[in-house]
Amino acid sequence: MNTLTLPRLTLSAEFRTVAQRLLAVIVLCIALSLLSGAFLTVGNLVNVLRQAALIFLLASGLTLVILTAGLDLSIGANVGLSACLAGSVIQASGSPLLGVAVGLASGCMIGLGNGLLVTVLRLPPFIATYGMLWVVHGLTYWFMAGATIHGFPPAFRALGSGYFLSVPIPVYLMFVFLAIGIGFARYTTWGQEIYAIGANPVAARLSGIPVNRRLVLVYTVSGAMAGLASLIFLARLNSAEGDIGEPLTLPAIAAVLIGGTSLFGGVGTVSGTLVGALILTLVLNGMNLLAIDANWQPLVTGVIVILAVSLDVLTHKGGTAGR
């Protein structure tokens, strides 16, 4: 077999899989609107979307990595370093634009580093990005020395806390990158090649796909998205410290997997990742609205995540998720 038949997925197929996955979101939303009068208000829904945006932006690049059967454990650390670098550049230079450039460049460089470790040194992605996580943490701790950078100009803050037509800016970014992600994965040869690499790397190589170059690309994209997420983070919180990104790593990976992307590669969608991000956000939102005791919150989170994915598996028997 020297020609690879790619599973050319159509947009309607993408909608179908996402519609199935949305079932869990809809069930959650109905339950929450019955339990809390505050849930189904414009203010709260805007709130949920804005909170989901950060996790989605981080997880969207990661989705491509996982589609190649790879993994990027360094995204949280990447957010930390990129935010700290961007933040200190903005404070030193007073130029938000320069800060944005530095944040994105830092994200890209870390991602590129991962890509090279995975391809040139042929390290397993888990090890390569786990190593990178520590390198990046180390650089951040050294750079920050326990300090906190805070206070940024309003022009920059708008990126995270601003509105356009009463919709938060991060929500626009989320939809823009959702569209780019779907378009890239579905309608470009490169996107299709990424699915092929994940499905069968040997076949992909034999059929002439430049596997290494595509892998470097996806890790760099994942790093760049972490850089972008770091800017949103910085602009929303108006401050940066060394450990800000770490609590985001596992939720981002979870969002991708809850959204139906397989850790074994070749199967999944960027829009599914949005659903995953929404589920995780709704859980926190719901627990706060219902004022659930903090002792129970981890348990509730776990049960809802398991139920949400079970619901998807049960209503979609036999098929591999996301196809």
Partner 1 sequence: MRRRLSVVVAAILAASVSGAVRADGEKIAVFTKNQTNPFFQAVRLGSENAAKQMNAIVFQYVPTKPDSIPEQMSQIDDVVVKKPDAIVFTPVDYKAMTPGVAKMNAANIPVVNITDRAEKGSFITFIGSNDYQLGLQTGRYLLKTLGGKGNIVILEGVRGVITNQDRMRGFNDALKEFPNAKLLASQTGNYQRLQALQVMENLMQSYPQIDGVMAANDAMGMGALEALEGAKRTALVVSINGTKEAIEAVKAGKLLATGDYHGFSQGCLSVMAALRYLRKQPVPKEVILPVSVIDKSNYQPYDVAPEQRGCPKWDDMVKQ
CB contact at 8 A, 291 and 35: no
Binds partner 1 (CB under 8 A): choice among 124, 247, 302, 319: 247
The β-bridge partners of 300 are none
Select the span of 59-67, 188-196, 229-237, 299-307 touching partner 1 (CB under 8 A). 229-237
- What CA–CA distance (Å, rounded) separates 314 from 95? 52
Q: Does residue 320 belong to the site contacting partner 1 (CB under 8 A)?
A: no
CB contact at 8 A, 305 and 258: yes
Binds partner 1 (CB under 8 A): choice among 10, 93, 288, 310: 288
Q: Does residue 164 belong to the site contacting partner 1 (CB under 8 A)?
A: no
Q: Does residue 130 belong to the site contacting partner 1 (CB under 8 A)?
A: no
Choose between 145 and 314: whose C-beta lies nearer to partner 1: 145
Tracing tokens 């348990």 back to the chain, one arrives at: 299
Q: Does residue 289 belong to the site contacting partner 1 (CB under 8 A)?
A: yes
Site string for partner 1, 6-45 (x = CB under 8 A): ------------------------------x-xx-x-xx-
Burial class (CB in 10 A: 0-12, 13-18, 19+), 311: middle
CA dihedral in degrees (225, 230, 233, 238; nearest 10)?
-150
Q: Does residue 145 belong to the site contacting partner 1 (CB under 8 A)?
A: yes
CB contact at 8 A, 63 and 273: yes
Binds partner 1 (CB under 8 A): choice among 11, 120, 147, 167: 147
Q: Where are the alpha helices (DSSP H) in the chain?
A: 11-35, 42-67, 75-93, 96-119, 125-144, 154-161, 169-187, 189-199, 201-206, 211-237, 246-258, 270-289, 297-314
Q: Does residue 241 belong to the site contacting partner 1 (CB under 8 A)?
A: yes
Binding site residues, partner 1, CB under 8 A: 36, 38-39, 41, 43-44, 47, 50-51, 54, 134, 137-138, 141, 144-148, 150-151, 161, 233, 236-239, 241-244, 246-248, 284-285, 287-289, 291, 294-295, 297
